[in-house]
Chain A
Amino acid sequence: EVQLVESGGGLVQPGRSLKLSCVASGFTFNNYWMTWIRQAPGKGLEWVASITNTGGSTYYPDSVKGRFTISRYNAKSTLYLQMNSLRSEDTATYYCTRDLRPGTPGFAYWGQGTLVTVSS
Chain B
Amino acid sequence: DIQMTQSPSFLSASVGERVTLSCKASQNINKYLDWYQQKLGEAPKLLIYNTNNLHTGIPSRFSGSGSGTDYTLTISSLQPEDVATYFCLQRNSWPLTFGSGTKLEIK
| Interface set of A (CB-CB < 8 Å, partner B) | 37, 44-47, 50, 59-62, 95, 100, 104-108, 110-113
Contact = CB atoms under 8 A, between A and B. Distances in A.
B95 interface: yes
A100 B36 contact: no
B31 to A, nearest CB: 12
A50 B89 CA distance: 14
Nearest to A4: B43
Contacts of A62: 95
Which secondary structure dominates where chain A touches chain B? strand
Interface in B43-63: 43-46, 49-50, 55
Contacts of B36: 45, 107
Closest 6 CB pairs of A and B: A106-B49, A61-B95, A110-B43, A47-B96, A45-B98, A108-B46
